[in-house]
Homo-oligomer: A and B are copies of this chain.
Amino acid sequence: MRNSDHARDRLTVVGGGLVGSLLAVYLARRGFGVDVFERQPDPRMPGPRSSRPSINLTLCERGLAALDAVGLKDRVLALTVPVYGRRIHLIDGSTAFQPYSNRGEAIHSISRNELNAVLVAAAERERGVAYHFDQKCTGLDSRGGTVSFEHAVTKARTEVGPTKIFGADGAYSGVRLQLQKTELFDYSQQYSPQGYKELAIPAGPEGRPVLEADALHIWPRGDFMLIAFPNRDGSFTCGLYAPFHGEHSFASLTTEERLVAFMHEQFPDIAPCIPSIAEQFFARSANTMVTVRCRPWSRHGNVLLVGDAAHSILPSYGQGANAGFEDCAVLDRCIERHPNDWRGVFAELEELRRPEMDVMADLCVEHFYELREHVAEPRFLLRKAVERRLQELYPERFASLYSLVAFTRTPYSEAVRIESRQRALVDRILAVDGIEQKFRSEMTTLVEHCLQEVA
């Protein structure tokens, strides 16, 4: 198809997933016609689902604000379960609860597939938006502004353009792969040595959840961990995170016997609640997780990468979708500031967002390690308690990195700067002799003392 009739106004979004669909809504609201080309089948159609992982994700302030700006927040929130903190499950059966916030703030668990379906439906309701499913991106001429697709079933080839092309096709982006072959395109993809598999925990009798439903549950075990996200129907979606190779790895769990023994030994309190563990586990290979960085995000004022296609990060802060949604909102403001100047729009988006995502990429690698290894250590728990107490005592002066990331729209880079200043103070407090004992009784004095020393 050649959109020559509407060449000036008709835009092309590659990828009809979360970010591509929200982007289509934003662009339509600005009066553009939008063609969305998606490699997978329509997510609302029955039949065998695609190879896309369907594990839950969590929406927080950044993502919700971007949905709110186009009136989609409430529709999406209706599909979520609020999660107020992490319940840590130790191997001896004891647990500890770490609230995300001391103001009762929550993040919101939602099934990726349900969120995708609602966003596709919302985009299709916009005037001038058309979806084309089963279309794989096979070629790109960034200078000419044309892009080619091949239909998964008919193998028919389509060339679109000249048009503006938005590569919102995820961590394994086909648009980016094409850009990678162009001159001076810096690129890196780095896989986590860990992968994950999904396991479902159904609701108990009378639809009652088998775990508290307003928490995210974590079973940290060093090299590997289990996480459970609550769903609205009382069920949970689990992710088993483990190395691909080595002891306690996906490569070592090759038989039903070994798997069942491993699950019951490592997760004794929850393994009995996971039915058909082996069937679920062996149905699919483990999903990979990749950190992607590249630059530039745009070429010739014709092609722009957004969302995971531009900056895939590990899921440790639950920021992938939120950051992608934030891209859409920021892009919208760039379009407002640079009417009829796509080069200007794309340059400003990258200038605003790339440094943020570089910071976040590093943070996610560090935090992923922290979640598996340290989250259950007494010293780590004490640090978290001290941070929370500081926030209670000086709510205007202290905010944890997590709360800045999850409950505000403070730029990631600014959040990290704030955290590193606060860390110095917390380090001083933790270095005080007998801090465990003094903590409750003398906290205020302690803080005053340390503040003087640090200042």
Contacts and interface: CB of A to CB of B under 8 A. Distances in A.
Interface of A: 172, 177, 180-181, 183-191, 244, 288
Contact of A189 (B172, B186, B288): B186
Copies of this chain, how many?
2
A187 B186 contact: no
A226 to B, nearest CB: 22
Nearest to A172: B181
Contacts of A190: 186, 188
Contact of A184 (B177, B181, B183, B244): B244
Contact of A191 (B181, B186, B189): B186
B191 A184 contact: yes
B184 A180 contact: no
A186 B193 CA distance: 10
Give the residue among A172, A186, A244 with the most B Cβ atoms within 10 A.
Answer: A186
Give the residue among A172, A177, A180, A183 with the most B Cβ atoms within 10 A.
Answer: A183
A238 to B, nearest CB: 22
Contacts of A184: 191, 244, 288
A189 B183 contact: no
A185 B180 contact: no
19 contacts: A172-B181, A177-B181, A180-B189, A183-B191, A183-B288, A184-B191, A184-B244, A184-B288, A185-B189, A185-B191, A186-B189, A186-B190, A186-B191, A187-B187, A187-B188, A187-B189, A188-B188, A188-B189, A188-B190
Contacts of A186: 189-191
Contacts of A188: 187-190
A79 to B, nearest CB: 31
Given A172-B181, A185-B191, 9 more contacts: A184-B191, A184-B244, A185-B189, A186-B189, A186-B190, A186-B191, A187-B187, A188-B189, A188-B190
A260 to B, nearest CB: 26
A405 to B, nearest CB: 26
Contacts of A185: 189, 191
A190 B187 CA distance: 7
A244 B186 CA distance: 14
A424 B184 CA distance: 37
A184 B290 CA distance: 8
Contacts of A177: 181
A42 B184 CA distance: 28
Nearest 3 A/B pairs, CB to CB: A188-B188, A184-B191, A186-B190
A109 to B, nearest CB: 28
A193 B186 CA distance: 10
A416 to B, nearest CB: 23
Contacts of A191: 183-186
Contacts of A183: 191, 288
A94 B188 CA distance: 44
Nearest to A186: B190
